[in-house]
Structure 1
Amino acid sequence: MKQSAPLTVTVDTHIAIDRIELVNDSGIPDDNLTNEARPHFQVTVPADVNGVRLSIDGG
């Protein structure tokens, strides 16, 4: 039986988030404050990122 050469795989679990933007800002634009009970965010990441999972409560 022949063995193949070792394959090195790197899984990068940390990415640089390019931008997080509050979508439904109910007050003064760009103050990063809102009265919305369930605010919505737009997250911009590098093009080679396949998926993102975010947590706002550390969970």
Structure 2
Amino acid sequence: MCITVFMWEAHPLYPFLFFFNRDSITAEPLGWWEGGEILGVRDGQAGGTWLASSKDGR
């Protein structure tokens, strides 16, 4: 099951808030990928992700 929350201009310091919960992949670790540029859960088989962030905000 997935839960997604988008909040647009709901907070004075953060113009866009995004909350996402995906409980189908609970065994995959969250952390910085090799090289330390991407933070997110990495699929152990396919090598990709469904949601991640970089240090420069992308």
TM-score when scaled to structure 1? 0.30
TM-score when scaled to structure 2? 0.30
- Which structure would you say has the larger RCO, counting Cα contacts within 8 Å and 6 or more residues apart? 1
